[in-house]
Amino acid sequence: MSAAQPELPPAFVPADVEGPLYDSWVERGYFAPSGKEDAEPYSIVIPPPNVTGSLHVGHALDHTIQDILIRRRRMQGYDALWLPGMDHAGIATQNVVERELAKEGLSRHDLGRDEFVKRVWQWKAESGGRILGQMKRLGDSVDWDRESFTMDEQRSRAVLTMFKRLYEDGLAYRAERIINWCPRCLTALSDIEVEHSDDEGELVYIRYGEGDSSIVVATTRAETMLGDTGVAVHPEDERYKHLIGTEVELPLTGRRIPVVGDEHVDPEFGTGAVKVTPAHDPNDFEIGRRHDLPSFTVMDEHGVITAHGPFQGLDRFEARPAVVAALRAEGRIDKEVRPYRHAVGHCQRCDTVVEPRVSLQWFVKVAPLAEAASAAVREGRIAIHPPEMAKRYFDWVDNMHDWCISRQLWWGHRIPVWYGPDGETVCVGPDEEPPSGDGWTQDADVLDTWFSSGLWPVTTLGWPDSTEDLARYYPTSVLVTGYDILFFWVARMVMFGLHAMRDQGPEGAVPFKTVVLHGMVRDAHGKKMSKSFGNVVDPLDWIDRYGADATRFTLARGANPGSDVPVSEEWCQGSRNFTTKLWNATRFALLNGASASSPVPPAASLTAADRWILSRLHTVIAEVDAYYEGYEFAKVCETIQAFAWNEFCDWYVELAKTSLNAGGAAADASRAVLGHVLERLFRLLHPVMPFVTERLWLALTGGESIVVSSWPSAESSYLDAAAEAELAAVQRLVTEVRRFRADQGLKDGQRVPARLVGIESTVLVAHEPAIRTLLRLETPADGFAPTASLLVENVTVELDTAGTIDVAAERKRLEKDLAAARKEKAQSEGKLGNAQFLDKAPPPVVEKVRAQLATAETEITRLESQLAGLPTA
């Protein structure tokens, strides 16, 4: 591929190009870091997709942004490393394999733990990780030789090392606490694995006790009252002060429970009194601890009532109406039960309503870790971009609760703790032998998946070993992820990275120097994507139909820092059209002898159009560099596309035709300029659209690969303000005359005799041939009699439109538009001349009226000029 490429075919067909190009990049090792000692390291770790997953539009956005960053740094000469990998996804993967077993009439318990885990590994080898192949289709330039998996040997060793370190530091502990429990997955869940939605429910008011000593509580979960061990009120609430320290009878049970005063009760919410069920509510659990209230578990792990009595054996949702009916029968319902919409937690994996319950679990004491993670951002060792997102981060880490890290699963990193026959507890490191002998058993639980993914930046580089990769590429340069997992994953990586690498000092311990947060992908109307809405985008479908480049460009063009990203298929079609535009412009250039190897002649040998496009190119390169450094990917795309499509393709290519047709030195100069601009444009665009730019660059240069070419630099020697001003005048004239032609009802290709009066006294005179070509203006014959004219850029453009327009109808239309413009001007002048309006109206409103006045005045001038140019008869 070092030789010049064959002539470009008439059309760009992505499917014919993308696969072979990607395979050649991997085969040649382009995605591996250079390893050059004098090159500055630049590293990114990919947010590991689940082994069960496939490429969805959120992945496509996230990966596109990372690939843009790494490809640009690679071209800039950095020692660039992008690390790929996958997450073992404990709950999701176990669910997938259990469903496969169910098809065989088996459960995991039929196999036993060891055989089940073997089956999961088998599934992973055969069916898991298909997303990796999909990443290749998107064009991810990751170093596949460094691919990691959170359950592979190296990552598993690191996880056990970290657990033992936390255990020995007193930060990992086992205790009975209230946790989120999924009755379907039969495991504890962390807060981040619980998704809340507003669900319809009922608010039930229940009277506890009798007469003046009674108290009414409100609840949406009446079944949990079977486990109440107290009623709490605010100690300063005058309604209930006299009841604090007394007892009331708990309906349906005959038990007497105390009334306690607790400052965390909101007197304004509900009745101002809350039932306290320590075993089934996190807030109640804390109240119970503060007041030494007993904890009664009244449901098993399946959400079935275990309390003795008529409700025993009922599912929690069956028990709820049964309890309400029994309370009503005893006259304990104080008010009518009313509908109530409230936030309810659901399991992220299976959507089952989560049940808070007291359980013996392993936890991480997060206070010291969170404090260090907060300081790393506050002190500037980690920058969050956009900066306003830092507040979200602080809101989370500064108020973090201890993290429940144990899961009642078989797939995952098993907790390395052994329990002895006499109550002994031993934590075993990865290089240590577990205790042996009768009565010793290992903890049955596995660690939360986020535990291993929290270590991702250090484990992918070899920790806990002192590897060359760890020394060179840690801290990683940038983390790219959605703002929705700022709390869930980013905070955990900061905590674990600081703790794992604490011997490296404050600067060296952080897992990454910058966090770049993008938004959620939404449809063109800003609506969240949902199967129920029918607006979900499958990026693989877009890649099939429009190509990876168009898909990537569509995602990147909407990626403003921290903001949600709107996309639509229409925009993807537009991006595909952009690739077609580039393809056709390059074919034109090649067919006309454009060369990237020919040096650009001195400015004195160039036309104004040549100097203009060179000046604009190098201005755009500088602008794009600035946008990249600010992670403003949408502006990168907008700037490049505007230059490539509008300035280069629509203007320069047309203007260059005059020089090319003239032949000689002028043609040679334009060929060199065409090659210079296209070659740098392809390099500038390559990180966003890698495939089409590679194919076009190879055809133009015959070089090795654009992947390993250098990033274009802005050269001030090409900047030419005079040429830019001159061509801006050409553009204004052509644009205004085109508008005039359209207003006159002339077709785009219709040729019209015209005279350009006064052009010889302007800088536009050198461009008259090009202007006439662009505007389809013929040189007038003898006897030329103009029927319309307009003044633009000190040039009077006289046209003979006889027989092409209905003059009377055109005059009527223009007079109507002129009257509307004059009315708008009068209204705006009236407002701006009103002192009360100027004093009271907000500044933006006043500025808007001023802008409306200016627009109206411009429109009046234009319309009057057009009317003056119409024939009088």
pLDDT at 2: 38
Count of C-beta atoms within a 10 Å radius of residue 433? 7
Helix (H, G, I), strand (E, B), or coil: what is residue 366?
coil
> Rounded to whole angstroms, how far apart are CA atoms 221 and 353?
12
Structure tokens at 663: 């032949």
Its pTM stands at: 0.84
pLDDT at 867: 81
In sequence order, the 6+-apart residues with CB closer than 8 A to the CB of 520 are 58, 482, 483, 484, 528, 564, 565
Helix (H, G, I), strand (E, B), or coil: what is residue 363?
strand
- C-alpha distances in Å from residue 364, one per residue of 150, 415, 503: 20, 13, 21
Count of C-beta atoms within a 10 Å radius of residue 81? 28
Residue identified by tokens 């639509």 is 568
> Rounded to whole angstroms, how far apart are CA atoms 419 and 31?
47
Homologous superfamily, domain 194-356: Valyl/Leucyl/Isoleucyl-tRNA synthetase, editing domain (3.90.740.10)
Name which of 82, 92, 20 is nearest 54 in CA terms.
92
CB contact at 8 A, 323 and 332: no
In sequence order, the 6+-apart residues with CB closer than 8 A to the CB of 752 are 741, 746, 776, 777, 778, 799, 800, 801, 804
CATH topology of domain 542-719: Isoleucyl-tRNA Synthetase; Domain 1 (1.10.730)
pLDDT at 34: 94
Name which of 586, 574, 528 is nearest 7 in CA terms.
586
Residues in the chain: 873
> Rounded to whole angstroms, how far apart are CA atoms 455 and 495?
9
Residue spans of the domains in the chain: they are 31-171+365-518, 194-356, 542-719, 750-869
Q: What is the DSSP string of 524-579?
A: TTSPBP-TTTT----HHHHHHHH-HHHHHHHHHTT--TTS-EEE-HHHHHHHHHHH
Query: 542-719: same fold as 194-356?
Result: no
For residue 365, say whether it is annotated as part of any ligand binding site.
no
Report the DSSP beta bridge partners of residue 412. Answer: none
Return the amino acid letter for 728: A
Residue identified by tokens 């509580």 is 217
pLDDT at 686: 98
Mean pLDDT for each 10-residue chunk of the chain (873 residues)? 60 95 97 94 96 92 97 98 96 92 94 96 92 96 97 97 97 92 86 83 90 89 93 94 93 93 90 92 91 92 92 93 93 84 85 89 96 96 95 91 93 97 95 92 96 96 96 97 86 96 92 95 82 83 97 94 89 96 96 92 94 98 97 97 97 93 92 97 98 97 96 96 96 93 82 94 92 93 86 92 72 88 94 89 88 92 79 63
Q: CATH number of 31-171+365-518: 3.40.50.620, 1.10.10.10, 3.30.200.20, 1.10.3720.10?
A: 3.40.50.620
pLDDT at 813: 82
